[in-house]
């Protein structure tokens, strides 16, 4: 097995930074569309052979150092009772938004049987990977998943979610606690099925104030991490907003904090307790740019992180669907040529 990713996640010395990219199994690849044109997104997630095919695309076409399960963070909300659909150009939608105590009470929490397809997909993927590179499992963080359940889909300002948090905090907390329970169970299901690492995505944490982040997001992530059957499975905590929230995130004791592109990565790393690795933090927009710019930005980050134990190269957020495939491939080549 190529152990670069796991070594870096556990803050061990590696000969070069390992690399994978958030949303690497997605729409920027023409081969993704060949599959997507035949099935809906949820069909792809729920059919283990297809989920495995998509997971393997960046492994085979890009040569990254870790694979990530093809799924979505919103499958936990669906399993709890959310009526989830994905529509081209609209994005995710819950047709039955959760906005009242009654709605929250109606959500179910013993739902692992409804997520069994993910365990099945993990087993197929591990057969295909055959020990070559580690597989990352993932789940959405309670605040981010709550925002989709409450808003009924994507949102720019999270107005309804924040209204619930501020006017009816006990309802928001009840909802968050339910999502946190399902999320911990779900990640433990993935660990039992054979993933080699897990990442928690709190994509929209940046929308929260310092106090609200601690009350409505962080404490539930802390609870989830405390409930994981971690053994030798590194836990990666990602949020947009980690440049600000990293000191709080560290208190949940993840192995890795995944950092957005606003902060200097070495400064963040040096500010964390020893033994917490960092992942990041290229601005995904550099992948639209000319190749010399792509190379310059990668090398700038790598020179800054030269010789650091505990650095995984990634983007600060996911690859956009219209980024040229060729540029991503070039970036991976530049990254893999580098030696500490």
Residue 138 C-beta: closest distance to ligand CP3, Å: 5
Tell whether residue 26 is a contact of ligand CP3 (CB under 6 A). yes
24 a known binding residue? yes
Q: What is the 3-state secondary structure (H, E, C) of the chain?
A: CCCHHHHHHCCCCCCCCCECCCCCCCCCCHHHHHHHCCCCHHHHHHCHHHHHHHHHHHHHHHCCCCEECCCCCCHHHHHCCCCEEEECCCEEEECCCCCCHHHHHHCCCCCHHHHHHHHHHHHHHHHHHCCCCCEEEEEECHHHHHHHHHHCECCCCCHHHHHHHHHCHHHHHHHHHHHHHHHHHHHHHHHHHCCCEEEEEECCHHHCCHHHHHHHHHHHHHHHHHCCCCCCCCEEEEECCHHHHHHHHHCCCCCEEECCCCCCHHHHHHHCCCCCEEEEEECHHHHHCCHHHHHHHHHHHHHHCCCCCCEEEEECCCCCCCCCHHHHHHHHHHHHHCCC
In the complex, minimum distance from the CB of residue 281 to ligand CP3, in angstroms, rounded to a whole number: 14
Q: Is 173 in the site for ligand CP3 (CB under 6 A)?
A: no
Count other C-beta atoms under 10 Å from residue 95's C-beta.
10
Choices 23-31, 116-124, 208-216, 262-270; region in contact with ligand CP3 by CB under 6 A: 23-31
Please state the closest distance from residue 5 (CB atom) to ligand CP3, in A.
Answer: 14
The answer to the question of whether 186 is labelled as a binding residue is no
One residue of 63, 97, 169, 318 binding ligand CP3 per CB under 6 A = 318
What radius of gyration, in Å, describes the C-alpha atoms of the chain? 19
Residue 186's nearest CA partner among 232, 137, 123, 148 is 137
Task: Compare residues 72 and 297 and give the one whose CB is closer to ligand CP3.
Answer: 72
Binding-residue pattern over the window 49 to 88 for ligand CP3, x denoting contact by CB under 6 A: -------------------x-xxxxx-----------x-x
Q: Which of 6, 25, 115, 294 binds ligand CP3 (CB under 6 A)?
A: 25
The CB-of-4 to ligand CP3 minimum distance in angstroms stands at 19
CB atoms < 10 A from the CB of 3, how many?
Answer: 16
Contact pick of 27, 230, 296, 309 for ligand CP3 (by CB under 6 A): 27
Residue 13 Cβ vs ligand CP3, minimum distance, rounded to whole Å: 27
- Minimum Å gap between C-beta 41 and ligand CP3 is 4
Q: Which is nearer to ligand CP3, 32 or 311 (by Cβ)?
A: 32
Note whether 138 binds ligand CP3 by CB under 6 A: yes
> Which is nearer to ligand CP3, 63 or 318 (by Cβ)?
318
- Taking the complex as a whole, the smallest distance from the CB of residue 50 to ligand CP3 amounts, in Å, to 12
- Per the annotation, where are the binding residues for substrate? 23-27, 72, 148, 203, 317
Interface with ligand CP3 (CB under 6 A): 22-27, 36, 41, 68, 70-74, 86, 88, 91-92, 138, 154, 201, 203, 317-318
């Amino acid at each position: 097995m190529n152990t670069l990713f796991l070594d870096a996640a556990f803050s061990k010395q590696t000969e070069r930074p390992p690399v994978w990219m958030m949303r690497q199994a997605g729409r920027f690849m023409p081969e993704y569309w060949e599959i997507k044109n035949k099935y809906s997104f949820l069909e792809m997630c729920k059919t283990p052979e297809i989920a495995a095919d998509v997971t393997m695309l960046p492994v085979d076409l890009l040569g990254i150092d870790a694979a990530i399960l093809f799924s979505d963070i919103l499958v936990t909300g669906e399993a709890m009772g959310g009526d989830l659909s994905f529509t081209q150009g609209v994005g995710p939608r819950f047709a039955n938004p959760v906005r009242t105590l009654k709605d929250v009470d109606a959500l179910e929490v013993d739902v692992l049987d409804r997520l069994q397809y993910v365990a099945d997909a993990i087993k197929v993927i591990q057969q295909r990977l055959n020990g070559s590179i580690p597989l990352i499992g993932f789940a959405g963080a309670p605040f981010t998943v709550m925002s989709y359940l409450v808003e009924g889909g994507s949102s720019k300002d999270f107005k309804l979610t924040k209204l619930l948090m501020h006017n009816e905090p006990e309802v928001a907390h009840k909802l968050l606690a339910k999502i946190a329970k399902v999320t911990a169970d779900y990640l433990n299901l993935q660990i039992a099925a054979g993933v080699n690492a897990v990442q928690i995505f709190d994509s929209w944490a940046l929308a929260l104030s310092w106090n609200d982040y601690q009350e409505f997001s962080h404490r539930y992530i802390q609870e989830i991490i405390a409930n994981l059957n971690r053994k030798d499975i590194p836990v990666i905590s990602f949020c947009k907003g980690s440049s600000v929230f990293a000191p709080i995130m560290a208190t949940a004791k993840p192995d890795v904090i995944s950092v957005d592109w606003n902060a200097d990565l070495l400064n963040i790393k040096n500010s964390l307790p020893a033994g917490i690795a960092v992942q990041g933090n290229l601005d995904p927009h550099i992948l639209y740019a000319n190749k010399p710019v792509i190379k310059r930005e990668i090398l700038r980050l790598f020179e800054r992180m030269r010789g650091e134990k505990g650095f995984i190269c990634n983007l600060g957020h996911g690859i956009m669907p219209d980024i040229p495939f060729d540029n991503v491939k070039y970036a991976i080549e530049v990254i893999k040529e580098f030696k500490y």
